[in-house]
């Protein structure tokens, strides 16, 4: 009579968390005959396999029993069948082959075998598993390994790290065994979270760390983790040797790698966060490691669970757990070749930043900015490397990724300078200011790189609202530009002084300076770069209530369209919207802001999103929709706070509009209801979500319509309005985000419906035969039942 048996050992400590993971593994066991649990060392593969097997055994459905075969201590692959037979109680008779004996023993049994720790004997395990599954149709096998078997029918389960709450629970559960009074409370929760994150939420690492809490506080332990391999050495003496210390655990994985795989592991440790295949090839190749071999070696390290993968924006990215990275970095230093990957890492990311800066005013801006954000951690890491100048040599080690490169002493400064669009358009103002200031202090040499870096940090500083420091930086940049005879630096300084003048409320000065910057760049054949100052000129003119603001703004939009540029285009649309808002044409202003927000949503630019949404909030206030206005202002508050600045830093005019808008909203809603709306808006706490909130609330934000009855459709009304401003089809198409051909069709329809034969007649009809925007607005407000204070004639006291 067959006795349902097994040899699963009893556990000494309960499994903390992992309930969903165990359930998922049991589901796979029920549906697949071969399940492989893969993951990095210490992630808990063995514990999970045994837990799932124990639950399966407790159900009593496997009459052939549940059997554990631990292969961790097997050093000879040929011994695997014998160890398996011994674990199952199969006696080796005579000279018969072992695998057929095991197969015969299991042929009619419904059993489950756990082959634990197979990574070092994968080849033998493949033959064993194939023989057993073929001969025993009711048999199921679970494998734990750092690499898959790559067999047909294999169901692979990638074991995840612990969830944050699970990691905390495990730390507490193990800590109380050495310090019974240990608990997590408000005073140490941040340190606990930081500790678990630094340990990659690996169960083994957390258990080793918990043992140290007998003599260290959580805060002390977290601070000492830079020496984790010397710190986490008090493990379980009963554990298998590779699992007794953190160093032994990673040593075990490292020894399983080939020499070339170890070199790649070491060199990949210079990356921060995740990285692309292109980056891995450029940074890690050189010397003994040829670039064409990197892909295959990387694929092997992924298969061995040394390298993790994730997909982001359609691209596969690679990363190392912090523990694995720290181990590789130590090995890299010990190898004496640390400078090669460090220098190539900086060169690669400098080249990436430079390409983005040089091609900024053209197509692909949103994708370029997204790439810069993706590589943010690597950029910061590249700025920190202390790389001495290499010895003179005739050849170059490794691929050239940035030629010509600046001297090593100035490479970090060059990188910080080339990242100016990342700092400013990407919203990383604080990081940009910190690194540019630090590197400028470290490299005082009067070079062209320094000149560009000085005006770049002036731009960052202006966006932070620090006009005094920005002015000092601009003085230095201007002096360097003259000393180096660099007209481009001098023109950029002129433009930045114009931006400073806008922020300081000196609008006449701003117009003169910005016009000079536009003219200067065009004279230098820098037409794309001139676009940046052209939209700033439109902003200055719109704030000045200059009648030419719409013409300049329209020209900026058309110029952006011709270049395939969209970021500056959104700011030009903002300038046009502000001009319409200042003229109290709120319908037109709202329509332009809608177009600008559609662009901003793709850029995730916190400054641009905040500016657009703030203006939309003022429009909502003027239209009497105070709830929407307050929600919009709640979202922009988050944006300004994260950038370390505020809208009140951008000139007295905007400060006045913001103050009056908030005051009107509080008066209409009451302080409590106003703050409730602000809180609701603050949940839209990223630049993209801020822009999406603006798009969501845009509909109906202007009650009534400023348009009078006419035979034209709403879109034709918009086109006619811009024709009346003297704009061409291309400019109108850029503003309304239509094709020039579509605009041409609208113009033909307008001419046909009105019986005109020229654009001049459309302009005259619009000017002489239509109701004024002010009167149309007041009529719309009356029809919508707006409060009396918004129905006064002339300009209102609120924006």
Give per-residue pLDDT as tens, 683-720: 998 888 999 899 888 877 865 433 334 677 768 877 88
Task: Please report the pLDDT score of residue 712 as a whole number.
Answer: 76
The per-residue pLDDT for range 200-244, each reduced to its tens digit, is: 999 988 888 888 888 889 999 888 887 787 777 655 554 555 555
The rounded radius of gyration (Å) of the Cα atoms in the chain is 34
The pLDDT of residue 408 is above 80: no
- Residue ending a domain, choose from 110, 125, 158: 158
Cα separation, 31 vs 413, whole angstroms: 57
**pLDDT tier at 50 (50, 70, 90 boundaries)?**
very high
pLDDT score for 627? 94
pLDDT at 4 over 80: no
Average pLDDT over all residues of the chain: 86
The residue that leads in pLDDT, 465 or 483, is 483
> What is the pLDDT, as a whole number, of residue 345?
96
What is the per-residue pLDDT across 57-104, written as a single tens digit (0 to 9) for each?
A: 888 778 889 999 999 888 899 999 999 999 998 886 555 678 999 999
| Position 730 in a domain | no
Full residue range of the structural domain in which residue 298 is found: 257-337
Say whether pLDDT at 163 is over 90. yes
502-519 average pLDDT score: 94
Does residue 535 fall inside a structural domain? Answer: no
SS3 361: coil
Confidence (pLDDT) at 241: 52
Give the position of tokens 């984790």: 228
Measured distance CA(254)–CA(248) in Å, rounded:
10
Last residue of a domain, one of 97, 131, 158: 158
CB 697 within 8 A of CB 759: no
Same-domain check for residues 92 and 200: no
The CATH number of residue 121's host domain is: 3.40.50.300
Predicted confidence band of residue 772 (pLDDT cuts 50, 70, 90):
very low
Out of 337, 352, 370, pick the residue that ends a domain: 337
Which class for 401: exposed (0-12), middle (13-18), buried (19 or more C-beta within 10 A)? buried
Contact yes or no for 354/418 (Cβ under 8 A): yes
Pair 124, 196 in one domain: no
pLDDT at 662: 93
User: Burial, 14: exposed, middle or buried (Cβ in 10 Å; 0-12, 13-18, 19+)?
Assistant: exposed
Does 54 reside within a domain?
A: yes
Residues 423 and 374 in one domain: yes
Question: Which pLDDT tens digit goes with each residue over 610-626?
Answer: 999 999 999 999 989 99
In tens, the pLDDT along 422-470 reads 999 988 899 999 999 999 999 999 999 999 999 999 999 999 989 999 9
% of the chain surpassing 70 pLDDT: 89
Q: Could you tell me if residue 128 is left (phi over 0), alpha (psi between -120 and 50 degrees) or otherwise beta?
A: alpha
Q: Flag whether 217 is in a domain.
A: yes
Instruction: Indicate whether 405 and 295 sit together in one domain.
Output: no
Whether residue 748 lies inside any domain: the answer is no
Quick one: CA dihedral 476, 478, 482, 487, positive or negative? Answer: positive
User: What was the pLDDT predicted at 710?
Assistant: 60
Who wins on pLDDT, 537 or 603? Answer: 537
Residues 351, 233 share a domain:
no
- Measure the CA–CA gap between 780 and 152, rounded to whole angstroms: 71
pLDDT at res. 393:
41
Average pLDDT over residues 268-283: 96
Summarised one tens digit per residue, pLDDT across range 665-680 is: 999 999 999 999 999 9
Q: Residue 93: what pLDDT?
A: 57
Our count of domains for the chain comes to 4
Burial level of 158, CB count in 10 A (0-12/13-18/19+)?
middle
* 331 and 457 co-located in one domain: no
**In whole angstroms, what is the distance from residue 715 CA to residue 115 CA?**
70
Which CATH number fits the domain that encloses residue 326? 1.10.10.10
Helix, strand, coil % in the chain, rounded to nearest 5: 65, 5, 30
Q: What is the pLDDT of residue 360?
A: 93
pLDDT score of 252 more than 60: yes
Q: What is the rounded distance in angstroms from the CA atom of residue 763 to the CA atom of residue 751? A: 11
Average pLDDT for 318-334: 92
Q: Are 457 and 383 in the same domain?
A: yes
Residues 423 and 330 reside in one and the same domain: no
Q: Give the CA count within 13 Å in the CB-facing half-sphere of 283.
A: 30
Q: What is the mean pLDDT of residues 327-355?
A: 94
The predicted structure's pLDDT at residue 296: 95
Are 133 and 33 in contact by the 8 Å Cβ rule? The answer is yes
Residues 174 and 301 grouped into a single domain: no
How far, in Å, CA of 495 to CA of 563, rounded? 20
Q: Is the pLDDT of residue 391 over 70?
A: no
Residue 317 lies in a domain: yes
Residue 705, pLDDT score: 33
Q: Are residues 134 and 200 in the same domain?
A: no
125-133's contacts with Cβ under 8 Å and 24+ in sequence apart are 125/71, 125/80, 125/149, 126/150, 126/151, 127/99, 128/80, 128/81, 128/84, 128/99, 128/102, 129/34, 131/99, 131/100, 131/102, 131/103, 132/99, 132/102, 132/103, 132/106, 133/33, 133/34
222 lies in some domain: yes
Q: Average the pLDDT over each of 311-320, 696-705, 788-797 and give the range with the smallest value.
A: 788-797
Question: Is 575 domain-assigned?
Answer: no
Q: Are 37 and 153 part of one and the same domain?
A: yes
Q: Based on the fold, state whether residues 366 and 440 are members of the same structural domain.
A: yes
Q: Helices (H), strands (E): how many in the chain?
A: 39, 7
Which pLDDT does position 737 carry in this prediction? 74
The whole-angstrom distance between residue 507's C-alpha and the CA centroid of its chain comes to 37
Residue 86, helix vs strand vs coil: helix
Q: pLDDT value at position 495?
A: 97
């Amino acid at each position: 009579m067959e006795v349902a048996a097994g040899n699963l050992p009893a556990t000494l400590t309960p499994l903390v968390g992992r309930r969903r993971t165990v359930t998922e593994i049991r589901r796979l066991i029920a549906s697949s005959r071969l399940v492989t649990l893969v993951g990095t060392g210490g992630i808990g593969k063995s514990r999970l396999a045994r837990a799932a097997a124990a639950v399966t055994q407790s159900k009593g459905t496997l009459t052939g029993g549940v059997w554990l075969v631990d292969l961790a201590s097997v050093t000879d692959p040929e011994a695997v069948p014998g160890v398996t037979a011994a674990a199952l109680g199969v006696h080796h008779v005579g000279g018969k082959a072992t695998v057929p004996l095991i197969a015969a023993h299991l042929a009619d049994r419904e059993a489950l075998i756990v082959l634990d720790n197979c990574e070092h004997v994968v080849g033998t395990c493949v033959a064993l598993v194939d023989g057993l599954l073929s001969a025993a149709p009711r048999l199921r096998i679970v494998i734990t390994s750092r690499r898959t078997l790559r067999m047909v029918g294999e169901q692979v389960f990638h074991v995840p790290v612990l969830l944050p709450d699970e990691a905390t629970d495990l730390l507490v559960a193990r800590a109380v065994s050495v310090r019974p009074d240990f608990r997590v409370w408000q005073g140490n929760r941040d340190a606990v979270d930081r500790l678990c994150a630094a340990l990659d939420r690996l169960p083994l690492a957390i258990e080793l760390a918990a043992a140290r809490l007998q003599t260290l506080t959580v805060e002390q332990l977290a601070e000492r983790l830079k020496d984790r391999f010397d710190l986490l050495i008090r493990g379980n003496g009963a554990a298998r040797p590779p699992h007794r210390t953190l160093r032994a655990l990673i040593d075990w994985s490292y020894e399983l790698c080939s020499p070339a795989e170890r070199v790649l592991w070491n060199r990949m440790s210079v990356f921060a966060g995740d990285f692309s295949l292109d980056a891995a090839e450029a940074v890690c190749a050189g010397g003994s490691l040829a670039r064409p071999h990197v892909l295959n070696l990387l694929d092997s390290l992924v298969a061995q669970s040394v390298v993790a993968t994730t997909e982001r924006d359609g691209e596969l990215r690679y990363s190392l757990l912090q523990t694995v990275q720290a181990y590789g970095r130590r090995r890299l230093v010990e190898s004496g070749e640390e400078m090669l990957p460090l220098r190539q890492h900086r060169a690669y990311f400098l080249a990436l930043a430079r390409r983005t800066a040089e091609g900024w005013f053209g197509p692909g801006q949103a994708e370029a900015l997204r790439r810069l954000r993706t590589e943010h951690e690597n950029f910061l890491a590249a700025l920190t490397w202390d790389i001495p100048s290499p010895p003179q040599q005739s050849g170059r080690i490794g691929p050239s990724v940035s030629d010509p490169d600046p001297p090593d002493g100035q490479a970090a400064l060059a990188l910080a300078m080339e990242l100016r669009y990342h700092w400013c358009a990407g919203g990383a103002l604080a990081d940009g200011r910190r690194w540019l200031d630090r590197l400028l202090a470290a490299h005082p040499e009067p070079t062209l790189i320094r000149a560009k870096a000085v005006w770049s940090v002036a731009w960052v500083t202006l966006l932070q609202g620090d006009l005094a420091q920005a002015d000092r930086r601009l003085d230095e940049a201007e002096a360097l530009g003259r000393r180096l005879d660099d007209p481009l630096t001098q023109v950029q300084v002129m433009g930045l002084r114009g931006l400073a003048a806008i922020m300081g409320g000196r609008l006449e000065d701003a117009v003169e300076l910005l016009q000079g910057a536009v003219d200067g760049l065009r004279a230098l054949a820098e037409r794309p770069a001139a676009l940046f100052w052209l939209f700033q000129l439109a902003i200055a003119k719109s704030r000045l209530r200059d009648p030419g603001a719409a013409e300049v703004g329209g020209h900026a939009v058309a110029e952006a369209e011709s270049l395939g540029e969209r970021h500056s285009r959104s700011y030009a649309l903002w300038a046009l919207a502000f001009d319409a808002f200042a003229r109290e044409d709120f319908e037109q202003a709202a329509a332009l802001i809608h177009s600008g927000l559609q662009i901003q949503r793709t850029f995730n630019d916190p400054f641009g999103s905040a500016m657009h949404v703030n203006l939309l909030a003022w429009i909502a206030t003027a239209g009497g929709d105070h709830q929407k206005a307050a929600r919009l202002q709640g979202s922009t508050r988050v944006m300004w706070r994260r950038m370390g600045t505020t809208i009140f830093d951008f000139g007295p005019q905007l400060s006045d509009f913001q103050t009056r808008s908030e005051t009107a909203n509080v008066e209409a809603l009451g302080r409590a209801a106003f703050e409730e709306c602000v809180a609701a808006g603050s949940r839209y706490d990223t630049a993209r979500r801020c822009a999406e909130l603006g798009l969501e609330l845009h509909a109906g934000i202007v009650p009534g319509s400023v348009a009078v009855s006419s035979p034209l459709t709403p879109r034709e009304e918009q086109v006619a309005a811009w024709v009346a401003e003297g704009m061409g089809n291309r400019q109108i198409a850029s503003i309304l985000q239509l094709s020039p051909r579509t605009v041409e069709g609208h113009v033909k329809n307008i001419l046909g419906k009105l019986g005109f034969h020229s654009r001049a007649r459309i302009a005259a009809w619009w000017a002489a035969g239509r109701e004024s925007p002010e009167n149309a607005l007041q009529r719309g407000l009356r029809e919508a039942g707006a409060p009396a204070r918004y129905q006064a004639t002339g300009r209102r006291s609120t924006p």
